[in-house]
Amino acid sequence: MDTPIVNKVANSGIITLNLEDHFPEKEIIIFDIKDYLFKELILKEKDFRTALKEYDWESIQNKILLIDCSTDAIIPVWAYMLVGGYAAPFAAEIFQGTHSEYLKTHYSKAVEQLDIEDYKNQRIVIKGCSNKPVPPSAYTDLTNKLQPIVRSIMYGEPCSTVPIYKRKPIKA
């Protein structure tokens, strides 16, 4: 007997959401202030200002610039501001903080702006495996946003999911 193979997952009506689809499209560049410190400890204002004037700011054209200091030095707030001021005409986006802090903020904004009207009363799978770094907070934010309107939320792949939420039926 030649019985056709039926894709039950495709026919289930389950909608898969992939947070990886919201990963930043532009290249991310890190400006590490540590590289401009005297002995990686002390910021000398005059030397720092000179280094910023000589920096190739065109190299960050249309990229996301993260301004951080990877060493345990005390960096005055104005130093971050100064880098941001030089970068502003070139960078597509400027963020002060680490790569993981940036991604957390980026995904929080992406989830906040997500139009969820099409997911009303639907069964949703939030895709679990990704090739790009998606912070755990993004999954929590998305769950919190969807829960009031969807029928159910699952995590993983449509063929193998972990149930997260299921709306209780209304008792008559």
- Identify the sign of the CA torsion 120, 130, 134, 86: negative
pTM for the complete prediction?
0.85
- How does DSSP assign 145-166, residue by residue? HHTTT-SEEEEEETTEEEEEEE
The SS3 call for residue 101 is helix
| 123 Cβ contact list (under 8 Å, min separation 6) | 12, 13, 14, 15, 150, 151, 152, 154
**Look-up: residue for tokens 């919201």?**
22
Mind listing the pLDDT tens digit of every residue in the chain (172 residues)?
566 554 444 446 899 999 999 999 999 999 999 999 988 889 999 999 999 999 999 999 999 999 999 999 999 999 999 999 999 999 999 999 999 999 999 999 999 999 999 999 999 999 988 789 999 999 999 999 999 999 999 999 877 899 999 988 767 6
